[in-house]
Amino acid sequence: MQMISDILLGAGALGAGLFCYVLARRLAAFTTLETGMGGAIAVLSAQVDDMTRALQSAQDASVNSSGRLAELTERAEDSARRLELILASLHDLPDGDAAPARRQRVQHSRTRVRTERAA
């Protein structure tokens, strides 16, 4: 009986040794940087770095664009105010021989201002 238990104990030790050997080979293959999971992790890490850089450049571009858009909007509003003042001053001119031509120019100016505001 003791001999059978020794044989089973030896077989169990050999089985455990074989299992450890196979596990060590799989773990070595798993962690290699070129072909295993380590390679996949390295590739994903590089992609994350690239995406972070792309996101940063997109954020910088959006900040610059929003600043430029605010500046252009302010310039357009100033131009619209000046045009309104010019149109208001045209109404204060006395009517004379050139009144029909002036009315036509004023009407054309109003149409252009409305078109510019709509755009």
Closest CA to 112 of 85, 91, 87: 87
HEC states along the chain?
A: CHHHHHHHHHHHHHHHHHHHHHHHHHHHHHHCCCCCHHHHHHHHHHHHHHHHHHHHHHHHHHHHHHHHHHHHHHHHHHHHHHHHHHHHHHHCCCCCCCHHHHHHHHHHHHHHHHHHHHC
Structure confidence by residue, pLDDT tens digits, 75-105: 999 999 999 988 888 777 666 555 566 666 7
- How far is Cα 102 from Cα 16, in angstroms, rounded to an integer? 105
Q: What is the mean pLDDT of each run of 10 residues along the chain (119 residues)?
A: 92 96 86 71 89 94 91 94 87 63 68 68
For residues 117 and 77, the answer to whether their CB atoms sit within 8 Å is no
